[in-house]
A = this chain, B = another copy of it.
Amino acid sequence: MVVKTSKERIFEEAANLFREKGYQASSMRDLSDRVGLKPSSFYNHIKSKEEILQKICLDNAMKFVDGMKAIKKDSTDPLEQLQAVIRLHIDIAIKDRSSVTVFNDEWKHLSEPHLANFLKMRKRYEKEFKNIIETGIKKKVFRKVNPAIALFTILTSLKWIHYWHKPKRKISVKDLEKDIINLLVNGVSS
């Protein structure tokens, strides 16, 4: 059994709270109540609500950045790379739903310079992703479409999984990945 530190529990409960109530509507009091820590001890671990948002956004951004780096190292084939990127998004969405929801929906509440850093990381990630598509088009592995349109259509198409995927759906991650990759790579048309 993994014993969590108070700080880990605070971040975990904060992600749940922000997902349920929204970041702006959540207070530090809500959070300390939820974790069951007295304010005096709570503030030993965390200074501000935004400190938590910063960590959630940065941690998730790093999962994508590191994942993309590993994918580009593992293969130079654009189709294999694209499939691996789709799997990366699905895996992150499923492993920590609350955290990825906050990352997706609440990043705009970051203050500067955190917001600018976040947007810079996102832009770099999108550029790496677009580069896979452009290489695929050049190698005639992918169809000739506007690479930005393909990038955003594919990238955005993966942004529902963390809302929808629950154990009660009884769909394995493998089947989910298979269907989504099939739809995006080969299309809905049979």
Interface residues of A (CB under 8 A from B): 22, 24, 79, 82, 108, 133, 136, 140-146, 148-150, 152-161, 164, 171, 175-176, 179-180, 182-190
Chain A binding site: helix, strand, loop or mixed by DSSP?
helix
Chain B neighbourhood of A148, CB < 8 A: 164
Q: Do residues A186 and B189 form an inter-chain contact, with CB atoms below 8 A?
A: yes
CB distance from A83 to the nearest CB of B (A): 10
Are B190 and A142 interface neighbours, CB within 8 A? Answer: yes
For residue A82, which residues in chain B have a CB less than 8 angstroms away from its CB? 188
User: Are A175's CB and B146's CB within 8 A?
Assistant: yes
Q: Which residues of B contact A184 (CB under 8 A)?
A: 153, 183, 187-188
A159: B residues at CB distance < 8 A: 156, 159
Nearest CB on B from A92, distance (A): 16
Residue of B nearest to A161 (CB): B152
- A82-B188, A146-B175 in contact; A183/B153 too (CB < 8 A)? yes
**Complex interface: chain B residues within 8 A of A79 (CB):** 189
User: What CA separation (Å) do A180 and B182 show in the bound complex?
Assistant: 16
Instruction: Name 23 interchain pairs, CB-CB below 8 A, sorted by A.
Output: A24-B24, A82-B188, A143-B182, A143-B189, A143-B190, A145-B182, A148-B164, A149-B179, A149-B180, A150-B179, A152-B161, A153-B157, A153-B158, A153-B179, A153-B183, A154-B183, A156-B160, A157-B157, A185-B187, A185-B188, A186-B186, A186-B189, A187-B187
CB-nearest residue of chain B relative to A133? B188
Known pairs A188-B133, A188-B136; A156 contacts B156 (CB<8 A): yes
Q: List residues of chain B with CB within 8 A of the CB of A190.
A: 140-144
Given contacts A157-B156, A157-B157, A159-B159, whether A188 and B150 have CB atoms under 8 Å apart is yes
